[in-house]
Amino acid sequence: MDFAFAAAGGVLIAKLMNLFTKNKVNPLIGAAGVSAVPMAARVVHIMGTEANPQNYLLMHAMGPNVAGVIGTAVAAGAFILSIK
């Protein structure tokens, strides 16, 4: 359930970014922001190549994927500090 909310939130944020930026962002990249390395990036890459065989999203999807891992570590650290 959380994985679905995180993926949907990433897609919605990417669509929101497209409203305000000149260079458009592929909304699938937002779905790779969950911290399931490297599976989320691979799924995004496969979905992108199914839609358009010219897409190569794997390296672009790894950026938000690793950022999701770092965000998870920071959040875990904040929770641990709040317990003490």
List the chain domain ranges.
Answer: 2-83
Closest among 1, 83, 75, 6 to 44, alpha carbons compared:
6
The reported pLDDT for the residue numbered 55 is 87
**Residue 76: what pLDDT?**
93
- Which residue numbers in the chain have pLDDT < 70? 84
pLDDT for the residue numbered 32: 87
pLDDT of 3 reads 79
Name 29's Cβ contacts closer than 8 Å, sequence gap at least 6: 10, 14, 44, 57, 60, 61, 63, 64
**pLDDT value of position 29:** 87
Residue-level pLDDT at 81? 93
The overall pTM is greater than 0.85: no
The answer to whether the CB of 27 falls within 8 A of the CB of 16 is no
Pairwise CA distance, residues 65 & 32, whole Å: 5
